[in-house]
Amino acid sequence: MKINILLSVLLGVVSHVMAVSLTSSSVHVSTSTRISTVSTSSKVSSTSLKASSTSVISATSTASTTPYWLETIKHQGISAFNQNSSYQVFRNVKDFGAKGDGVTDDTAAIQNAMSAGGRCAPGTCAGSTTTPAIVYFPAGTYLISTAIINYYYTQIIGDPNNLPVLKPTQNFAGFGLIDGDQYGGNGLKFAATNVFYRQIRNLIFDLTGIPPSNGLTALHWPTAQATSLQNCVFKMNDSPGTQQQGIFIEDGSGGFMSDLVFYGGKNGVVFGNQQFTVRNLTFYNAVTAIDHIWDWSWTYQGLSVNNCSVGIDMSAGGTTGQSTGSVTVIDSTFTNTGIAILTAHNSTSQPPTGGSLILEKVSLVNTPIAVQGPTGKVLGGGTTTIGGWGQGHEYTPSGPVNFEKAFTPFSRPSSLTVSSKYYTRSKPQYQSLPLSSFISVRSAGAKGDGVTDDTAALNAVLNSAAGKSVVFFDAGTYKVTSTLLIPVGSKIVGESYSVIMGSGTFFSNINSPQPVVSVGTTGQSGIVEWSDMIVSTQGPTAGAILIQWNLVSPASTPSGMWDVHTRIGGFAGSNLQLAQCPTTPSSSTVNTNCIAAFMSMYIVPSASGLYLENVWLWTADHDIDDPNNTQVTIYTGRGLYCASTKGTIWMVGTAVEHHDLYQYQFANTKEVFAGLIQTETAYWQPNPKAGVVTPVVAGWNDPDFSTSCHGVNGTFAACAMGWGMRVVGSEDILIYGAGLYSFFNNYNVSCSNPVTPPGGNGAACQTRIFSIEGTTSKNINMYDLNTIGSISMITRDGNSLALYLDNVNAYQDTIALFKSG
C-alpha cells in the first residue's frame, strides 16, 4: 500500500537513514549514544555456548548428495501475459556464466541472470506481474564486487542441500550483497510499500573476509506483503569495533521471515518497516542483535539471542520521540546477553504509547537485565522465564491504564502448543526427495497460458498424484472455469507464484458462490501441504470464493499453506485493471464488472487443524502493471472467514486487505493463534457504504451495517465501512500483534494524517474497525493492537470500548494489552 509520503514526513529517523544511504555504501544508523549505554563487560562469555561461526556454519551447510529437484527438474515455466513467448522464468546463474568457484568475479553473470528478458528494473519500472523469475544458485561460492540489484517479482533460491555462499571482494561497492531496493536520486527506486511477491532462501551471506571496520551490509530488504526470507545464514565479523550488519530494512509494509541465523556484526539486523512477522531468528555474538529504527508493530516468535550486548534495541528516538511503536516477543530465549530489551519508554515518554512492549514466555539464561529503560534497569534478569511482562496501555473498562509490569499471560489452548510453545512449521522445500517424486502439471497436460481452460487437466493430475507425488505447478497462469479440487494427501508447490485464475459464468453469480479452489470436500480428513502460489479471478466473478478449506487435520500435524496468496484485480490478464476499473470517487455508480469475489478464503465449520504462514489475501488497490501503479476500484465481498467450530488454526504472518464487509471474520470458532495480523479497509468506502455492493446474507454471518450503524456517528459518513476484524460467538482467539488500518475515506487520505492536531481530523477515516459480538464470545485477547484512521479501536456489541485519542502512538494508536474477558 502507498503511504510512503506520509511516512517520510513523519519519521526523521527514516529520512536520516535515507540521507545516509544516499551518500554511503556502508550504512549503519545505530547511534553511538545508544550503544554506549551497554558496557562491554556485560558480554558474558560462557563455555556452554559454543557458537563460533565456523563450527555452526559447517553444521548448517553440510553437503548432501541429493540433487535438489528444483535444480534438475525440466524448466518449462512461462509468464502467460508476457508478450515475449520465449520469456524465461527459471534462471540458473551458472547458465549465465557464473562460476561459483570463489575466485572468479561472478557479479555480471548473476546480474544478467536477474535482468535478462526485459524484466522490471528499479528506476524504470514501478511493478510488473509479467516478468517473474527464479534466480537459482547451485552449490558454490560466488564472489561479487558490486551489489546484486534485485528486480521486481524475483525469487532468489539456493540449493538447500548445500547452501551456496555469496562473498564480497575486498573492494566491494554497494548497499548489500543483494540490494533489494536500490537508491536513486529520489530515494528508494521501488516504492517499498508496493514491493510484493519476492523471496530469498537457502543462501549464506559471508562478510567475514572483509575488515570489521568496513560496515558492509549483507542484505538491503525494504519490502512489503507477500515477501519472505527463509533459511539463510549471515556471517559477519565479531571483532571489537565491527561495523558489519546482516539485514537492513528502513521502509515498507512487510512481510515475513524465518529460519535465519546471524553471527557477529555490530547489528545483526536493522529493522524499520510498518509491520513484520519474524519467526525463528538466531543471533550469536552481535553487539546489538536487532536494532529497531521504527515500526508500527513487529511480532517475534522463537527468537534466540546468544552472547550479544543488547538483544532488541527499541529505544530509537529517545523518550521524547520514540519511533518504535510496538514489539511483541514470544517463545524466545536470550542467553548470555547483557540487556535483552533496551527501551526509551517510561511513564512520561512520548508518544504516550510509543515503545509498547509485550514479552510472553521469554526465557533468560545468564542475562542480567531483561528490560533497561531510559533511567536504568526496569526488569531484572538472570536465569529465569518471563511468563508475561509488558509496557504501554492496558485496556480497562474505566479507561486505559499506563502500565509497566508483569501480567497474567494469555492462557494457551493445549491444542495449539508443543511443549507449551506455539506449534510452528516452516515451508517445506522437499529437498530430500528425489526428482522422481515430482510431477509437473505442464508435463501432465495443463497449459498455464492464461487462455486455455486447464480445469480438467489440473483436476486429473491432482487426483492421480495425491498421496504419491508432489505436484509441481510450473510458473504460469492456469485458467479454471469450475472448481479445482485439491484432494486429501496432496503436496503442491508453485514456481515463482504460479497462478490459478477462476474465470467465467460459473463464478459470476453472487447468489450462488462457488470455490475456485476447494481443499478437500466437506467433512474429509487428511493433510494437504501447499506453497508458493496465488489464487486469482478474471473479470466479473462476484460469486467466487477463491479458497475454500474443508479438511479436518490433526492438531499434531495440521495441514499447511505457506506463501499462498489471493490476488484479485490489478494485474495483467485479470481484466480488472486500470482500463476496466478506474477509481470513481466523485460518482456513486458501481461498475458491476469490477465485482470480482464473494470471499477470499473460507474455512468451513467442519474444518480444523490448519497452519497458515505468510498468507496475504489482497483485493488490488492499484494496478501493479500500470507504469504509475495507479489506483483501481475492485469490489470483493468478504476477506478471510473462519467458521471452523473446532478451530485449532494458526495464522503466522497473515494479512487481508480491501474487502467490503470485513477483512477477518471469526464466527462460532475457537482456539486460534494469530500473529501478526494486518488489514486495510477498502479505499473506496464509504462510496458506497459497506454492504451496498455485497448484499448481506444471513447464512454467512454477515455484518449488517444498515442496522448496526443506526445512530452511530463519525466525523465523516464513516460507520458503514468494512471491519478490520470481527468476532462473533467465538472463544480463545489469541492475537499476537495486529495492525488494522484505514487510510482513506473515499480515496481522501487526509483523514488518516496524524499530523493534524489531536482532536481534529486525525484518525477519522472510519468510525470503528474491530468488533466483538455475542454473549458467548470470550477470551478474545490481543497484544499490541494498532489501529490507524479509526475513531474507535475496539467495539463490543456496538459499544466503543477504546478511543484512538486515548492511545496515541507515533502514527498509529496502540493498546498493548487487551483481554475481552
Which residues are at the interface with ligand NAG (CB under 6 A)?
43, 45-46, 49, 51, 84, 86-88, 116-118, 231, 238, 259, 261, 280, 285, 302, 307, 319, 346-349, 374-375, 424, 426, 627-628, 711-713, 748, 750, 761
Copy the grid coordinates of residue 168. 564480497
Name the maximum alpha-carbon separation found in the chain: 73
Q: Shortest gap between Cβ of 747 and ligand NAG (angstroms)?
A: 8
Stretch (H or E) spanning 108: helix 107-115
CA-closest candidate to residue 769, choices 741, 746, 743: 741
DSSP percent split of the chain into helix, strand, coil, nearest 5: 10, 45, 45
Q: What is the rounded distance in angstroms from the CA atom of residue 625 to the CA atom of residue 443?
A: 29
Set of cell numbers at residue 209:
573476509
C-alpha cell at 35: 550503544
DSSP 552: B
At its nearest, how many Å lie between ligand NAG and the CB of residue 523? 31
Q: How far is the CB of 510 from ligand NAG (least distance, A)?
A: 31
Measured CA to CA, the distance from residue 702 to residue 691 in angstroms comes to 9
Pairwise CA distance, residues 361 & 1, whole Å: 33
- The least CB distance from residue 186 to ligand NAG, in Å, is 14
d(CA 452, CA 738) in angstroms, rounded, equals 41
Strand partners, 531: 493, 562
User: Which residues have CB under 8 Å from 771's CB, separation 6+?
Assistant: 703, 723, 725, 726, 727, 795, 796
Given the complex with ligand NAG, which of 118 and 774 has the nearer CB atom? Answer: 118
Q: Which of 174, 236, 215 is nearest to 30 (CA)?
A: 215
- The alpha carbon dihedral of 224, 324, 315, 381 has a sign of negative
69 phi and psi angles, rounded to 5 deg = -55, -35
416's CB contacts (< 8 A; 6+ apart) are 422, 423, 555, 648, 650, 671, 673, 734
Residue by residue, what is the 3-state secondary structure of 14-60?
Answer: HHHHHHHHHHCCCCCCCCHHHHCCCCHHHCCCCCCCCCCHHHHHHHH
Q: Which is nearer to ligand NAG, 543 or 560 (CB)?
A: 560
Contacts of 519 (CB under 8 A, 6+ apart): 486, 528, 530, 547, 548, 549, 550, 551, 559
Question: For ligand NAG, which is the closer residue by CB, 39 or 750?
Answer: 750
What DSSP state is assigned to residue 447? Answer: -
Q: From residue 215, how far is each of 13, 14, 300, 313 by CA, in Å?
A: 19, 19, 26, 19
Rounded Cα gap, residues 795 and 769, in angstroms: 8
- Nearest C-alpha neighbor of 399 from the set 801, 817, 805, 808: 801
Q: Check: CB of residue 483 under 8 Å from CB of residue 518.
A: yes
* Nearer residue to ligand NAG within complex by CB, 522 or 556: 556
Indicate the residue among 650 and 818 with the shorter CB distance to ligand NAG.
650
Cα angle 441, 447, 451; round to 5: 140
Report in angstroms how near the CB of residue 349 gets to ligand NAG at its nearest: 6
Task: Give whichever of 221 and 818 is closer to ligand NAG, judged by the CB atom.
Answer: 221
Nearer to ligand NAG, 53 or 223 (CB): 53
Residue 297: strand pairing partners:
275
Q: 504: Cβ–Cβ under 8 A, 6 or more apart, which residues?
A: 481, 541
For the CA atoms of 211, 212, 218, 224, the dihedral, rounded to the nearest 10 degrees, stands at: -150
CB 623 within 8 A of CB 568: no
Asked if 670 and 731 count as a contact pair (C-beta separation under 8 A), the reply is yes
Distance of CA 97 to the CA centre of its chain: 34
Closer to ligand NAG at the Cβ: 25 or 424? 424
Pick between residue 378 and residue 661 the one whose CB is nearest to ligand NAG: 378
Strand 417-418 versus strand 421-422 pairing type: antiparallel
CA 158 to the chain's CA centroid = 21
For residues 220-240, b (16+ Cβ closer than 10 Å) or e, as one string? bbbbbbbbbbbbbbbbbbbee
